[in-house]
Structure 1
């Protein structure tokens, strides 16, 4: 046995040796509450019953923290839920009675194994994120530098401040990861069971903090981030600085600022239900409404000429009309509210979420609709839909860079084969003509006595040509045909 002790550690003497010849203690028995030298320790090391029931630790002075402060009993167990040493009363009677309790030796073994697994995870995370961070930093710096030549001196100073803040934030996160590494190493080097368990709570905290570190995110939410965003996103930014402005926002707050990437040109609308007032452009990527032909009502699947395996699209939507967008089963697309469906709905200018839940025991499904709280503050003129494995997310897009999460839905494993869709207008609404006129061919036509208000405004005084569903071409007596662009891929 190695008798060497750190210079700053007090010498604890054996309590069983004669007073005149006391030797340094090698271990302290937590149950007997005495410190023993090598000679007097032999009984504890050679007697099986003592070996199993009398925990030993490094020498401690009398009154060491070996008893429960609540019950005054010897601490003999470790609570894995609360990461603390407890006595038998805590384990079977008090607040820890339903917790995961282990003996010291078992806890020591299991927690060492967990630390090894955490160490591997953090090693992989830091190696992978360091490379990604370098690439991201070079790319963003290149974009920012290219645009900065068009900016006034104040904007250049703002860029320097932003980059310095990001670098400081990243450095702080790297310190957190390094701290966790040091804590893990110290714990792994600690061979004494009791001391290991005493320090494990802090080690666990360091590891958990390191796990949630994202080296690729912007500044931490707070006054620094808010101040920079406020300074960057202001009227003082000149028009020529748009690219640079967006680059800074993405570096500081990438959660809410991402450069808009247009929807793939492979996507197009496929009509399922289609009122006579609705028309499509020749490429089937724009939807038009003619107010003299009836109600604005249509259900459209979103298809791809390249592959059905697409997971993202951005769409502009009518500001004051009802609509539903999301995923649904092709069997229920004509009445999506019957499910299975996962979507965002706007009805009477109120946003709600549609989702389907399955009862595995009854083998039944239930589709529900729930209004979103504080939805009035969310702009939905342009919405981005992203499907990532079993999660469907909806984002509000405003301008070139601003992106705000509206909601995310978990998709049931039973609904992996679903189609993207858009539904415009209300269900089962019939157009009742209030005014009528005749065309030159003698056909009666009706005039809806309301002006349909669309977010994109009047596109043209005549129908776009060519259309997939053209309207009658004969001249109209008593009025002209007005067409609005109401929906399109962005």
Structure 2
């Protein structure tokens, strides 16, 4: 180190000068592995053979790094693909023979230009990022500021209402204490015995009344207190909601992966029924599914269709039934009516237990096979067997016991990444809170996949024996629902047909929403 604190530059000396008079080197010959001063460099500069075959570089200290460790030859080229120096054997015979090769001087020039271009691009990006960062910081500050202001206003309002009411009540109770003090002072100032004795009875009453006063007591029972309690509850609920929003906003700021803000499903997504049981109906906007209990089992398969294309991902949010079984995920569009006939990537809820379901088929095989994977004959030729791999696993708490199943979610957010070829399922529990349930990595294939939801048991949809039409009364008599389904306008219980025992056929009528695109 020099006196000014800067690191001294190493001076390379000529290897051909006498030891006692070595001059600074001007160039280093990579082939000769020596450094030369101006005088000793002349031979390399004036001899054509040396000039063409002996590469010269700026003076450098050689430590045995100028030759290839594998072939023992001089390093003369630079491999741009592997970013390493190679010899002529590496370049034309071994692993680098098909790579982009350059001489040292050309590689140095090209890489220097590339480095300058990257530096310029990085400066532009840095400037853009600074602008974006400023906008992001301003936006987040404003959003959190609004949440905190609303929270402070709610807390302040609740505090003022409570304190004002209590203050009025305490002031009213203080009157008794002030009255007792005045009475006692007047009695103590009275010198006449007869007058004092006449006053004492009233003074005693005032003192007892004052002693009974409890300043820590709330409002006196009555309509005013009931009204205030109701107002405090309403304002308190608002305050709790605002505090929750502020809290969730902070969580989404520091942990966006697990606390993403809840956005509604795009309005272009709608349900398109593939199988619809007689007990099922749909809203006019095709985003809500209803179930009428007296019409049979809850059974439906619905594709989720979009009127626009999304290049990188698709996301949807579904509210699911609280009791019925369901499957949600991706299936092949042509096999939606029978999921066993095509690939499926899904999250299942059966008997209140969550599990993953993956059914994959070989892309190379023709789809004209049955659900058992047996080839179908066409003319004199037999189609190859379609290989199917089915995977299913119960989903349990992470780090928990194996038999501790994950509870069924009420609302599921599904994220389909086209780029990553993955399908993720999240449980939504709040405006910003979500918990990952499952992520499925899909194999790349040529199948035409589409989002779907299946409600009810698969056996109910594939049943062909008419069992759904039969309803067995508690008295033991069986009735055919189809005989009564023609009159769907009978909404009132009293208008519905009854069994001979008096029980309404099909059971008590309950119509409920079982599925919704949120």
Shorter-chain TM-score above 0.5 = yes
Q: Secondary structure at the match of 1:9?
A: coil
Name the CA shift for 1:255/1:44 in 2 (closer, same or farther; >3 Å): farther
Give the deviation of 1:255 after TM superposition: 1.7
Give the deviation of 1:351 after TM superposition: 1.5
2:327 matched to 1:324? yes
470-479 or 378-387, which moves further after superposition? 470-479
Question: Equivalents in 2 of 1:367, 1:130: separation in Å?
Answer: 52
CA deviation vs aligned residue, 1:27-55 (integer Å, no higher than 9, x gap): 12232121111232233345555445434
Name the CA shift for 1:350/1:388 in 2 (closer, same or farther; >3 Å): closer
Partner of 2:413: 384
Question: Equivalents in 2 of 1:485, 1:367: separation in Å?
Answer: 36
The number of residues matched between the two structures is: 376
Name the CA shift for 1:381/1:314 in 2 (closer, same or farther; >3 Å): same
Picking from 364, 370, 380, the partner of 2:391 is 370
Contact 2:363 2:445 in 1 (8 A): no
Give the deviation of 1:278 after TM superposition: 2.4
Contact 2:345 2:440 in 1 (8 A): no
Picking from 334, 344, 352, the partner of 2:337 is 334
Map 1:173-184; keep pairs closer than 5 Å.
Answer: none
Partner of 2:257: 255
Q: Secondary structure at the match of 1:15?
A: coil
Q: State the TM-score, normalizing by the size of structure 2.
A: 0.58
2:358 matched to 1:353? yes
Contact 1:66 1:75 in 2 (8 A): yes
80-89 or 131-140, which moves further after superposition? 80-89
Partner of 1:489: 517
Question: Equivalents in 2 of 1:62, 1:339: separation in Å?
Answer: 66
Map 1:203-352; keep pairs closer than 5 Å.
Answer: 238-303=240-305, 307-309=307-309, 311-318=314-321, 321-339=324-342, 343-346=346-349, 349-352=354-357
Give the deviation of 1:312 after TM superposition: 3.0
Give the deviation of 1:413 after TM superposition: 7.6
Q: Which has the larger radius of gyration?
A: 2
CA deviation vs aligned residue, 1:352-380 (integer Å, no higher than 9, x gap): 23456533999998664434685655664
CA deviation vs aligned residue, 1:137-193 (integer Å, no higher than 9, x gap): 2111101111213557xx9xxxxxxxxxxxxxxxxxxxxxxxxxxxxxxxxxxxxxx
Partner of 2:54: 54
Name the CA shift for 1:113/1:12 in 2 (closer, same or farther; >3 Å): closer
Contact 2:151 2:242 in 1 (8 A): yes
Q: Secondary structure at the match of 1:257?
A: coil
Question: Equivalents in 2 of 1:121, 1:288: separation in Å?
Answer: 56
Map 1:404-415; keep pairs closer than 5 Å.
Answer: 404-405=435-436, 406-407=438-439, 414=446
Name the CA shift for 1:139/1:366 in 2 (closer, same or farther; >3 Å): farther
| Cα RMSD after superposing both structures | 4.7
Question: Equivalents in 2 of 1:51, 1:383: separation in Å?
Answer: 74
Partner of 1:464: none
Structure 2 portions without partners, runs of 5+: 1-5, 156-238, 368-382, 399-405, 482-487
Contact 1:315 1:383 in 2 (8 A): yes
Question: Equivalents in 2 of 1:487, 1:151: separation in Å?
Answer: 34
Give the deviation of 1:421 after TM superposition: 2.4
Q: Secondary structure at the match of 1:299?
A: strand
Give the deviation of 1:24 after TM superposition: 1.7
Give the deviation of 1:122 after TM superposition: 3.6
Question: Equivalents in 1 of 2:120, 2:358: separation in Å?
Answer: 40
2:123 matched to 1:131? no
Partner of 2:434: 403
Give the deviation of 1:299 after TM superposition: 0.9
Partner of 2:149: 149
CA deviation vs aligned residue, 1:56-79 (integer Å, no higher than 9, x gap): 333234647546789987655656
Give the deviation of 1:257 after TM superposition: 1.4
Name the CA shift for 1:23/1:375 in 2 (closer, same or farther; >3 Å): same
